Structure 1
Amino acid sequence: MNLAPSDLSHFDWDNQRVFLAILTESSLSAAARALHVAQPTVRRRLDALEHSIGTVLFTRSPAGLQPTPDALVLAGHAAAMASAAAAFARAASGPADGVAGTVRVTASEIVGTEILPPMLAALRARHPRLRLELHLGNRNEDLLRRDADIAVRMVRPVQTALHARRIGAVPLGLFAAPAYVGRHGLPARLADLPRFALIGPDRAAGDLAMVNQAGLDLSRDDFALRTDNHVAQLAAIRAGLGIGICQHPLARRAPGLVPVLPDLFSLPLEMWVVMHEDLKRMRRVRTVFDHLARSLADYLQGPAGLDK
């Protein structure tokens, strides 16, 4: 690639959207489905982009289309442009001084699946012109790059130019379903845990390190069921597969889980609500931020707070 700045003026954003879709999907047909366009359109736009920058972006392989080194260099820039375009669309979706339009919220899978939905339902009942986007994932989205408007995070944010509110610390503990306890009883001490069916991480070394630092002495082989998906872990605990780690407020939900060694193991996990400093002036974003902060504070006090 060897482009002068004047060459950039004729770039077509739709071509770059196609480029990003092929990067993600690894085939023209899958990219076309993701973009809801015809495959020849994807092929035409890729050809146009490659012609405009004078380089090949993908090569064919048995695994599908593979990005060239030049494509990998461009990927981050195209992703940043996609985030900026999405942020622009959200900002333009409603008046800055009204509670209408689109707000994008990001949270972990467990928070977004188990905790936020009733809170967002109450918010939408109060402000029906709001449109909410909920992105779930355990990777922290970059609020400075406007990947999302608001984030619920379980670690203290370190980026500057962010407005952050600490909600409190969510207590984590060991829990089991009543049916499992009825069949197998409870351990008397932490050293007894490997004799029970344990539910825990698969390849997420950070999760295992965190619980071991809190007092457990377990290896990956000690778990009878391994998964890095926290929603799946909770479902397995509720189904009676074994003992696992759960947030105390979630464990209190009916029919309720049985605490295991509560005096010997407890792990506090901080909860923050965060947004970009510039978005404080946008009323709909501030409304969602304040509602989530209040609702999550209620959540830490117990299930009764979920509908507040």
Structure 2
Amino acid sequence: MSDGSLDWDHYRTLLAVLQEGSQSGAARALGVSQPTVGRHVEALELAAGKPLFLRSHQGLLPTETALSMRSHAESMAASAAALARAASADGEAPEGTVRISASEVIGLAVLPPILADLQDRHPRLTIELWLSDAVEDLLRLEADIAVRMVPPTQGALVSRRIGAIPLGFHAHRRYLDRHGTPENLVELLSHRLIGFDRQLPYVRQMLTFHPELADARFDFRTDSNMAQLAMIRAGGGIGVCQTALAATDPDLVPVLPGLIDLKLETYLVMHEDLKASPRCRVTFDALVQGLLAYLAPERRRSRG
């Protein structure tokens, strides 16, 4: 497929229709008229020489051709967003937009004070915080900087190991008063457990070191770590959370402390092409300092 009349707007429309499932939904998402979306789709189908969507009672169903184009359209969208962030900077001062990818817990409970202080010092910085537990591809420029819970394996990245974030089983005092406190792993597995629904990369890494937890049956399952923490705080059962966060709530009690050593290795990662960018460099340094400070109490306890 080759047609010089096609531009990024056409592929952005294709991506919107794939995401929304209809031309009307794509038009609303893009802020354009439905006839404009229709013209873009027709131009793409003309260039491809085959249909991209089939109509059904469920909406527009993408053909194999449309699905094969999706990853390329997503790459174009990421590149366009990265170009816009790069263009937002002016001169040598730290200004412009920086997009950060972080897990839900880190993004909601740890990063806000770090980023607030950063923007106090550099008010011309704009921060985009993308909450995701998935390992985002920095090489595709989906984010400028990522806080990751697994070691980076891609080349062309600048990375800094922050350290291991301790995790532990915790329960609300109310739950333990009603159901008792387990004294060993066998008793723990008989309690109402709060855990994950899918084995995300950090979960698989944890089970590699603690295969005994693979037999755990979760009575409450969610891939949202914040939802797990909320359920623990509600007295819904025993679950795993960061010990530093649990320590801020006097009603959360460690369960079997020291029996199972759970840790999340944490890394800060950035594409090497961005290390000379003032907006990214100052943000990367601030995140390193802030995350190290977050881990400092745990490091002092482990040395003690």
Q: Does the alignment reach a TM-score above 0.5?
A: yes
* Unmatched runs of 5 consecutive residues or more in structure 2: 299-304
Supply the distance in 1 between the matched residues of 2:21 and 2:160 (Cα, whole angstroms): 40
Determine the structure 2 residue equivalent to 1:219. Answer: 215
Same amino acid, percent of matched pairs: 52
Q: SS at the partner of 1:133?
A: strand
Supply the distance in 2 between the matched residues of 1:85 and 1:282 (Cα, whole angstroms): 18
* 1:302 Cα deviation from its structure 2 partner: 4.2
- Per-residue CA shift, 1:208-251, capped at 9, x if unaligned? 7834742644536x222111221111111111111000111111
- Per-residue CA shift, 1:15-72, capped at 9, x if unaligned? 1111001111111122112112222221222122222333211111232211111112
- Per-residue CA shift, 1:108-137, capped at 9, x if unaligned? 122112221221112112211111111111
Give every structure 1 segment of 4 or more consecutive aligned residues whose post-TM-superposition deviation is greater than 6 Å: none
Distance 1:218 1:191, change over 3 A: farther
Determine the structure 2 residue equivalent to 1:306. Answer: none
Q: SS at the partner of 2:138?
A: coil
Supply the distance in 2 between the matched residues of 1:172 and 1:53 (Cα, whole angstroms): 51
Supply the distance in 1 between the matched residues of 2:92 and 2:73 (Cα, whole angstroms): 31
Letter in 1 for 2:198: R
> Which sits farther off after the overlay, 292-301 or 196-205?
196-205
Supply the distance in 1 between the matched residues of 2:76 and 2:218 (Cα, whole angstroms): 42
1:265 to 253, 260, 264: 260
Letter in 2 for 1:242: G
Match status 1:74 vs 2:73: no
Q: SS at the partner of 1:106?
A: strand
Determine the structure 1 residue equivalent to 2:271. Answer: 276
Q: SS at the partner of 2:92?
A: coil
Q: SS at the partner of 1:138?
A: coil
Determine the structure 1 residue equivalent to 2:280. Answer: 285
Determine the structure 1 residue equivalent to 2:168. Answer: 173
Match status 1:200 vs 2:195: yes
Determine the structure 1 residue equivalent to 2:49. Answer: 54
Number of matched residues? 297
Distance 1:265 1:96, change over 3 A: farther
Supply the distance in 2 between the matched residues of 1:88 and 1:137 (Cα, whole angstroms): 22
Supply the distance in 2 between the matched residues of 1:150 and 1:208 (Cα, whole angstroms): 23
Q: SS at the partner of 1:155?
A: coil
Verify the 8 A CA contact 1:96 1:284 in the aligned structure 2. Answer: no
Letter in 2 for 1:68: T
Match status 1:210 vs 2:206: yes
Verify the 8 A CA contact 1:96 1:282 in the aligned structure 2. Answer: no
Paired residues for 1:80-99 under 5 Å: 80-99=75-94
Supply the distance in 1 between the matched residues of 2:198 and 2:143 (Cα, whole angstroms): 27
1:36 to 28, 31, 35: 31
Q: What is the root-mean-square deviation of aligned Cα atoms in Å? A: 1.9
Supply the distance in 2 between the matched residues of 1:194 and 1:130 (Cα, whole angstroms): 48
Match status 1:229 vs 2:224: yes
TM-score (norm 1): 0.90
Supply the distance in 2 between the matched residues of 1:18 and 1:53 (Cα, whole angstroms): 15
Distance 1:256 1:104, change over 3 A: farther
TM-score (norm 2): 0.91
